[in-house]
Structure 1
Amino acid sequence: MLKFMSWKEYSCGEYSYYAAFLFFIIFNLVFIKPVIADVGRIELYTIQSITLTDQQFLMGKKNGNPVTISGELRYPRKIMKKYPVIVLVHGSGGVSGYVDDWAQEINKMGVAVFILDSFTGRGLYKVNNDQSKLGRLAMIFDAYRALDLLAEHNRVDPKKIAIMGFSRGGQVTLYSSMKRFQRLHGSKHEFSGYIAFYPSCITQYKEEQEVVDNPIRIFHGGADNYNPVVTCRAFVNRLKKDGKDVVLHEYPNAHHVFDYTKLVKPIVLKKAQTTRACRLKEVDEGVIVNVKSGKDFTYNDPCVERGPTIAFNRAAYDKTKQELSNFISSLFQLL
């Protein structure tokens, strides 16, 4: 089920992607050492997963299409018997530059990272412009399988594996904390913490308030017009009423992807789909409906718009780095 690949396998046609990926890693290690100076060792893995529609996922089905996805485990230079690890889950644009940036920052803290790639194995590059290419919940299944892998790894502390995701990956992170989803598709292990960057909170799932007791942290921008923060505020308030350990860090004037330092000026993604005007709800048989119309939701729904903005925000980024460092240090009891 879980497999570490040899060089011979990389050279086969079936693994041509991984051969190219390995070349990229070696190139970076040799020629761009200062950029990843805090990485002590890198391992590449394949993971057997399945591709489920949202309805299949919500109904607990396991008859989706089998797929082999991949992940990269980066250790910090600090030598430890057992490493704490954070699983990084990308957004609709795939494994983007800011994911790599955060991987480096986390390695500096003495924490390993596992960069999960849910797209390449499915033949996807990005889904910003057509979100229907992959169900919103399929990547939660992937995240649980990554947890399986890491919890069984002899160099990883199984009680110190957290998950951190961005946008679509933030939504994955947030809802992977639901006990119902863990019963349906989860691991025998549990993430020790959940860190969601600018997730979408527009969908009310059944039993959504029954989340694990481990801490949940959300980092969001007040000016986000891709995944507006307002629905996340309401979600957090519902969880707090149930006594859950959840905190929303909201930054005024910060847009989507406020943490990507290379965004020197705001960009309007004219073709990218956004469900900012939608309010969705799960009904019987795992069906998601538009609350306003009562009709089954699809990405042809009139509430789906285009043209969200992404923009770096220095103040929000600096504050997030501090808040995140404090949280990770406390979560993993780092010295």
Structure 2
Amino acid sequence: MRLTLVLFLLMSFNAAAFGLKIERKQLPYTNLVTMPVQSGEQTLTLAGELRVPRGYEEQKIPAVLVLHNSAGIDSTGRLYIEALNKVGIATLEIDMWGARGLSGGSGDRPETVHETLADTFAALKFLSNRSEIDPDKIGVMGFSWGGALTMLSATEQYASMFGGEYRFAAHIAHYPVCWAYSVIPEFAFENLTGAPVLIQAGQLDGYDAPDSCQNLVDGLQPSDKQYVDVKYYWGAQHAWDRLEPKWVVVDPFANQGAGGEVTLAPNRWAAWKSRNKVVYFFKDKFEM
């Protein structure tokens, strides 16, 4: 009886009665934005979600462009976006499929990654001209298809072709199908811009051999190798940070180009570790 009375009394008082100060979570400013992009002979309207953390209105802040996988925008990007926003980094996640009327997946995406390089640099130009963004501290992070874009955007060849004077300050590529850069000429990963590149890979990725990403880096010229690091997550499959039900897809790029099935499976341990790695990497490179 006495215990019940005590609990009742405690529940009857609100936090203010005890002199407790409750701080409400400050959500970032969120804007749905559009930007023009020239893709081949087409002029497209690219849409995205720009999130700018609160409390930094008197200064320019860093930003990260987020590039989705073949499936399109899903839960993957948001895992990192929220963590980056919390430490004062703005984010822009763009929808590369919506502008083209595509549904995504290996059966309904552009024929080549290169078709969306224009999207990547259009978004960089957009961020560079925002009053709240520091144009010298804009990074890019992509997943699978977006990871390949992240890799190619770190090369002078494609940065010059699509970006003109604009360059990313840092790159993180998640499971970017590493075998392709040593085999397909159009994917040549060389003559880098000098911005740091982090490749995050799963040891059980069905697109690559377990050592494909490390072999890629080991084969770089010393002038390029100095800018690139690899982080492996043992036991992690492709799209380990897509925290949605396991999904088996068929892709011609799978199994080191032989094609076939690939399992996309969430791994919460690897997702947590890679999220922390992303935040640390960008904070370090942006000198925050």
TM beyond 0.5: yes
CA shift digits 1:3-60 (9 cap, x unpaired) = xxxxxxxxxxxxxxxxxxxxxxxxxxxxxxxxxx5532112222211334xxxxxxxx
Between the aligned partners of 1:210 and 1:228, the Cα distance in structure 2 is 25
Which residue of 220, 223, 230 corresponds with 1:248?
A: 230
Which residue of 50, 71, 80 corresponds with 1:93?
A: 71
CA shift digits 1:128-162 (9 cap, x unpaired) = 2345x442112211111111111111111000100
Is residue 154 from structure 1 mapped to residue 131 from structure 2 by the alignment?
Answer: yes
Which residue of 253, 258, 268 corresponds with 2:248?
A: 268
The within-5 A match list for 1:85-124 is 85-124=63-102
1:73 to partner: Cα distance = 0.8
Letter aligned with residue 104 of structure 1: E
1:228 to partner: Cα distance = 4.6
The within-5 A match list for 1:10-89 is 39-52=27-40, 64-80=41-57, 81-89=59-67
1:231 to partner: Cα distance = 3.0
Between the aligned partners of 1:78 and 1:219, the Cα distance in structure 2 is 31
- Secondary structure, in 3 states, of the residue corresponding to 1:42? strand
CA shift digits 1:225-277 (9 cap, x unpaired) = 035553322221123633431111011110011112344xx3323xx314134
Letter aligned with residue 150 of structure 1: L
Could you tell which deviates more after superposition, 93-102 or 167-176? 93-102
Which residue number corresponds to residue 171 of structure 1? 148
Q: What TM-score results when the alignment is normalised by the length of structure 1?
A: 0.72
1:322 to partner: Cα distance = 2.6
Between the aligned partners of 2:173 and 2:210, the Cα distance in structure 1 is 12
Between the aligned partners of 2:111 and 2:38, the Cα distance in structure 1 is 12
Between the aligned partners of 1:229 and 1:130, the Cα distance in structure 2 is 28
Which residue number corresponds to residue 314 of structure 1? 268
Which residue number corresponds to residue 139 of structure 1? 116
Between the aligned partners of 2:185 and 2:210, the Cα distance in structure 1 is 18
C-alpha contact (below 8 Å) 1:164/1:196 kept by paired residues: yes
CA 1:277–1:256: 2 relative to 1, 3 Å: closer
- Secondary structure, in 3 states, of the residue corresponding to 1:308? strand
CA 1:41–1:196: 2 relative to 1, 3 Å: same
Report how many aligned residue pairs link the two structures.
258
- Secondary structure, in 3 states, of the residue corresponding to 2:230? strand
C-alpha contact (below 8 Å) 1:47/1:70 kept by paired residues: yes
CA 1:274–1:72: 2 relative to 1, 3 Å: same
Which residue number corresponds to residue 173 of structure 2? 196
Between the aligned partners of 1:107 and 1:76, the Cα distance in structure 2 is 6
Between the aligned partners of 1:311 and 1:82, the Cα distance in structure 2 is 38
Between the aligned partners of 2:190 and 2:142, the Cα distance in structure 1 is 20
Letter aligned with residue 268 of structure 1: V
Between the aligned partners of 2:26 and 2:271, the Cα distance in structure 1 is 21
C-alpha contact (below 8 Å) 1:38/1:104 kept by paired residues: no
Q: Which runs of 5+ in 1 are unaligned?
A: 1-36, 53-63, 280-302
1:127 to partner: Cα distance = 3.0
Letter aligned with residue 197 of structure 2: I
The within-5 A match list for 1:202-213 is 202-203=180-181, 204-205=184-185, 208-213=189-194
C-alpha contact (below 8 Å) 2:248/2:264 kept by paired residues: yes
Q: What TM-score results when the alignment is normalised by the length of structure 2?
A: 0.83
**Rg larger in structure:** 2
C-alpha contact (below 8 Å) 1:197/1:218 kept by paired residues: yes
Which residue number corresponds to residue 183 of structure 1? 160
C-alpha contact (below 8 Å) 1:227/1:256 kept by paired residues: no
- Secondary structure, in 3 states, of the residue corresponding to 1:137? helix
Which residue number corresponds to residue 300 of structure 1? none
Which residue number corresponds to residue 323 of structure 1? 277
Between the aligned partners of 1:195 and 1:262, the Cα distance in structure 2 is 22
Which residue number corresponds to residue 21 of structure 1? none
Is residue 332 from structure 1 mapped to residue 259 from structure 2 by the alignment?
Answer: no
CA shift digits 1:205-241 (9 cap, x unpaired) = 3663101111000111000103555332222112363
Between the aligned partners of 1:330 and 1:90, the Cα distance in structure 2 is 24
Letter aligned with residue 259 of structure 2: V
The within-5 A match list for 1:287-306 is 303-305=258-260
Between the aligned partners of 1:216 and 1:190, the Cα distance in structure 2 is 13
